[in-house]
């Protein structure tokens, strides 16, 4: 499907005839946000949202914060994969893997395991304290926000660890009812 305001869309006769084109002409949201509010999927792997244009990256982070509690999403560029997560996460990566934890809004962390710089009892907030450029000091990593915290935050890894983030995001997907 192609979803957006279509202001830069050029009709491509080579697309499969089954391609759905959905025009949403409002200009209050980005095409990325339009896709998020117009579709329902167990996981969104988002390419082209971050990287070259910083203003587009900021808009993608805005959408990540807005929809992060309801939508499982991973943003990816040529360097990083970024999962929008909430709650406790556990994953495996090789020691020395770069791991960043970035708050989309203030979030108190209860504990962490497997990080060189522990997050225990820290409150992460943009403009105050963030958890970027940390690294794994064990193969198993666990990040535990305080019990009352349900705010989405970003977990950023080198893009070769996409599968670790897919496993985290898919662990939040419930099986369809029978």
Contacts of 33 (CB under 8 A, 6+ apart): 59, 62, 63, 66, 67
**Among candidates 94, 81, 88, 89, which has minimal Cα distance to 149?**
88
- Tell me if residue 35 falls in helix, strand or coil: helix
Q: Are 81 and 113 in contact (CB under 8 A)?
A: no
Q: pLDDT by residue (tens digit) across 107-161?
A: 999 999 999 999 999 999 999 999 999 999 999 999 999 977 778 899 999 999 9
Radius of gyration over every alpha carbon of the chain, rounded to an integer in angstroms:
18
58: tokens are 């900021």
Is the pLDDT reported for residue 1 higher than 90? no
Is the pLDDT reported for residue 79 higher than 50? yes
Q: How far lies 58's CA from each of 40, 54, 90, 96, in Å?
A: 23, 6, 27, 28
Q: pLDDT by residue (tens digit) across 104-119?
A: 999 999 999 999 999 9
What is the pLDDT, as a whole number, of residue 129? 95
- Read off the pLDDT band of 178 (50, 70, 90): very low
What does the alpha-carbon distance between residue 44 and residue 9 come to, in Å, rounded to a whole number?
21
């Amino acid at each position: 499907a192609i979803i957006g305001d279509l202001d830069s869309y050029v009709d491509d006769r080579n697309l499969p005839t089954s391609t759905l084109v959905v025009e949403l002409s409002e200009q209050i949201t980005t095409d990325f946000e339009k896709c998020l509010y117009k579709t329902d999927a167990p996981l969104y792997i988002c390419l082209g949202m971050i990287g070259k244009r910083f203003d587009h990256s900021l808009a993608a982070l805005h959408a990540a914060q807005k929809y992060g509690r309801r939508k499982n999403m991973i943003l990816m560029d040529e360097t990083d994969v970024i999962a929008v997560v909430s709650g406790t996460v556990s994953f495996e990566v090789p020691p020395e893997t770069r791991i960043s934890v970035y708050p989309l809004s203030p979030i108190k962390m209860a504990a962490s395991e497997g990080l060189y710089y522990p997050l225990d009892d820290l409150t992460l907030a943009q403009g105050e304290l963030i958890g970027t450029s940390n690294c794994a000091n064990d193969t198993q990593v666990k990040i535990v926000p305080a019990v009352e915290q349900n705010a989405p935050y970003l977990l950023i890894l080198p893009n070769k660890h996409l599968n670790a983030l897919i496993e985290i995001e898919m662990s939040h997907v419930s099986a369809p009812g029978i």
